[in-house]
Structure 1
């Protein structure tokens, strides 16, 4: 909305001055004062003087209502297209709120905002028209005096602003001096801190080197423990099982009970040793999963049968069969170890009630997950110790620990193995109300492997070189099944002569023997043209990850524990009718580590 207030032809200097005085009156009535008034009047006056001789020049004053309020407008129109002086146009753009040039080059509009609100424009227009009635005729001297007064007022206001600017500059300079001083102090402190950081970094580097050396020493210690402890323990277990075999010499009831106790104790010790070794391998990243499709029904059936012997009177073990088809691809051996650890831990601390294992399949973000839940009615774990039970060697203190041996590695080991499979292990518990453990693993659609042909046994002749009589005794059953005739060599120094004389179909070598050891015998066999092509497999009680496979020239390595005739055939004749193309991983490496393991 626009209110026209005044219009006049501009044909001489007097009319321009009259338009100027009318604009001053309108601005004052509309609340435009001070430098805003001076700028508006000065720009209009300069523009009018510049356009004075333009044909058809006229001036117009009005009030316009906009969204933000009311503004004063001064418009100059002329008949023929021409442009406003660039100097005046630039000054107007800089000094006023709005400047609009007509598209056809026949006018220009200057505008200045007022302090009036847009809700009562009629009252503002009436006030402006009343102010115009008070404007007298033009007196050039009076106009000049008025201009001088306005100029002095503007200069006085400018001087005040200059003084304020000078004061602000002084304050800023003082502030900058303080900032510079503070910056210098901070720079000095930062330099001192950096010196300390460099020293700390050097100390950390030294500590890191010491820790690395300690870790390497620990790894060597595990390797020695692997051979020195597992070999005799495996022999004890194997010999005890041979005594308990149905085709062995009949034992009295007391003898059978004693041999059973020997086997159970050996299994417990081996489980603890395996647990320590596997924790070390998992820590060092040397425990690699071998993924394959898993038959979950068979897995649950085996868990039910294996763990049933650990239940005490008054405790029921319930392992539910999985529902639907299995689509899980993971390392079955590692998964079994995880579930056995969790179940054995639940059974260990449940004196009455039930321990249950259930499996559900969930869909999360376009991915299938398998979730095992182990729920018990045991003693429970205090909330402030739920995280601590996953620390190695930590055990919750209390009377419930009496008579329950363990290393405190079961749950940390299980969580580390679960993470190795890409999953999660978590606990929730309340003292006196039992514990719930959840094992979550992602599922990948399996590609079922082709079935391997069964090995055709036996072969004609075999030589086994091993300096451990107990290991030989434990392997004899498998050797009889593997070969119609086998020759045992306990002195590695006579091994080459025996192999050349017997000319067997295959050779089994113990890796760790007095000189010459298994590595040296392999080199000698490969160097002799008569024995170079013999199938050779390596047996060892050491950790498979510690074996120097480069020196074995592609031979398969098997653990002595639990090896059978089919495993030996697969290692000696991979891909043939005698073998199924087995890998270096060998058979299941025996009892699973876990808290409470103590039965064969």
Structure 2
């Protein structure tokens, strides 16, 4: 077999002609030597040699083939083998499939020159990374040269091929035995996996049955809880209605007895009836708080957000809390001006929270002071702090005081009893407003309650301005004393009346911006006053807001159709009165 070191392909490692069967055996020898020198796997040299001998034998013809071995400079990790011919022959599909099966990674490609001028088969065999293209080329070139120098006849070539095939057969047998062993192990493993899968499936099925049963039980309990909550709401709605009726009767009859037009009472009788009226008002507030607690638990307590004047709120609280605690021993300190002055929140809820905190502080303070302070909270909210110099709360009770109906045992608890709802109610309202309420206390030194609310405002954009003047009509002197700060926050000038019979004359003379009217009065009640104002052509346009100690929904709204609004005295706010009266106010007012 002729050999050319630079042959038909310039720079190739080996170029050799394949003219007969003996040259095919030489081609096989070259392929095996090159593959071994290139560092291919243990069986890869035999596969390459077998593939090339099959192709060479299939392509033998009248003119020699040319075999070219090379490692391209630009692709040093590839052993390239080409078989080139000059006529119209081409490999059969059978040999092409055999080569593909033996050398799948080599990607054999058949290239035709066209017009019967020949073609070539190109095999690119991937090599493991080497020590550099020059060293690799030299190693393969030396191996090819040694293979070309080894004389071998046809018989010797057949024997070499047989040895290769025997070695490949032994390797194949070893692999088959290993594969059979692995298959047996895999079969055993599969049996174990299937047994485990069956066991886990059974356990999972049992677990699923338990989960389904638990889910059904939880769903049933959830339904029962929802029904219990709804029943609780219905109970509180019903009981609050039923309680309000006798309580309002007690309050109304007490005021009637205390009215100046009633038969005179002795000093002791007046004191006792006043206590009845005060107790009735306290009981009504408690009923409202219990109803709010039930609403909060059911998620139905929705705040009505408005802009609240904190200074006016403090003034209103000062009037409401007059007489609470021990006069002379405890000073109630509330700011006349606050920074910030306004916050966006529910005014009624805020007043109820602060009233509970302040009254609780006054209740458990024997001497010293109860102080309310307002401060900006990191520019994102407002913090209202109520500090007292009272008896304090033990450290282990600080969390429990927010539980409903829980009371800290102590000497003052016996003489100043309560329901244990104040702090729980205050925290529920605080959470409804999106804020937090915390307590800090030192036993024997005092307590500090910190109320933090979001959205503090320091401007007065959008505020409803105080009215020029109003006429306030109520026969209860306690009302005038308690609500005086609130009414002065409503209007710049306030005219107070205690008799319904005087209203029309005073309104005609003063021409106020609005009228705040009580319903229950002994001489001429609120219904009659409202009817007289509505019948007067000059006075019918002056807006009237009705205040009542009873539930507004229980009033005769048909007789109140000329009023701009009907509000409960429990939770009334300055802003709400200004909004109602200001919506219908006209220019002018008191002079």
The TM-score, its normalising length taken from structure 1, stands at: 0.63
Distance 1:110 1:541 in 2: 101
Q: Which residue of 2 aligns with 1:292?
A: 306
Q: Select the residue among 157, 160, 165 that pairs with 2:178.
A: 160
How has the CA–CA distance of structure 1 residues 94 and 295 changed in structure 2, closer, same or farther, with 3 Å as cutoff?
A: farther
Distance 2:72 2:398 in 1: 78
* SS of 1:279 mapped into structure 2: helix
Number of residue pairs matched by the alignment = 512
Q: Is the 8 A contact 2:233 2:294 kept in 1?
A: no
Q: Is the 8 A contact 1:311 1:317 kept in 2?
A: no
| Displacement of 1:224 | 0.6
> Within the alignment, does 1:182 sit opposite 2:182 as a pair?
no
Structure 1 residues 156-555: aligned runs within 5 Å: 156-188=174-206, 190-191=208-209, 194-195=212-213, 197-198=215-216, 201-202=219-220, 205-206=223-224, 208-233=226-251, 235-236=253-254, 265=279, 267-283=281-297, 288-303=302-317, 310=324, 318-320=333-335, 326-350=341-365, 355-362=370-377, 368-376=380-388, 378=390, 380-381=392-393, 385-399=397-411, 401-429=413-441, 434-443=447-456, 447-449=462-464, 454=469, 477=498, 479-483=500-504, 505=532, 542-544=550-552
How has the CA–CA distance of structure 1 residues 552 and 157 changed in structure 2, closer, same or farther, with 3 Å as cutoff?
A: farther
Distance 2:168 2:200 in 1: 47
> Within the alignment, does 1:34 sit opposite 2:71 as a pair?
no
| Displacement of 1:75 | 0.8
| Displacement of 1:61 | 4.9
String of CA shifts for 1:294-328, please: whole Å, max 9, x gaps. 22233334445655754667766554566656452
Q: Is the 8 A contact 2:12 2:70 kept in 1?
A: yes
| Displacement of 1:26 | 5.4
Q: Which residue of 1 aligns with 2:15?
A: 8
String of CA shifts for 1:497-529, please: whole Å, max 9, x gaps. x99xx9953799xxxxxxxxxxxxxxxxxxxxx
How has the CA–CA distance of structure 1 residues 299 and 165 changed in structure 2, closer, same or farther, with 3 Å as cutoff?
A: same
Q: Name structure 2 gaps, 5 residues minimum.
A: 1-10, 114-119, 474-478, 480-495, 507-516, 536-542
Distance 1:360 1:111 in 2: 79
How has the CA–CA distance of structure 1 residues 574 and 327 changed in structure 2, closer, same or farther, with 3 Å as cutoff?
A: closer
Distance 1:489 1:381 in 2: 43
Q: Select the residue among 68, 80, 88 that pairs with 1:75.
A: 80
| Displacement of 1:146 | 0.9
Which has the higher Rg, Structure 1 or Structure 2? Answer: 2
| Displacement of 1:87 | 4.6
| Displacement of 1:204 | 5.1
Q: Is the 8 A contact 1:423 1:442 kept in 2?
A: no
How has the CA–CA distance of structure 1 residues 19 and 206 changed in structure 2, closer, same or farther, with 3 Å as cutoff?
A: same
* SS of 1:113 mapped into structure 2: coil
Q: Is the 8 A contact 1:101 1:109 kept in 2?
A: no
How has the CA–CA distance of structure 1 residues 123 and 380 changed in structure 2, closer, same or farther, with 3 Å as cutoff?
A: farther
String of CA shifts for 1:34-61, please: whole Å, max 9, x gaps. 3455555556666777788899954335
| Displacement of 1:107 | 5.1
How has the CA–CA distance of structure 1 residues 536 and 432 changed in structure 2, closer, same or farther, with 3 Å as cutoff?
A: closer
Distance 1:80 1:380 in 2: 109
Distance 1:296 1:503 in 2: 32
Q: Name structure 1 gaps, 5 residues minimum.
A: 459-470, 509-534, 581-600
Distance 2:559 2:162 in 1: 111
Distance 2:228 2:157 in 1: 99
After superposition, the CA RMSD in angstroms is 5.9
String of CA shifts for 1:450-500, please: whole Å, max 9, x gaps. 666756899xxxxxxxxxxxx9xxx992523434599x999xxxx9xx99x
Distance 2:444 2:74 in 1: 79
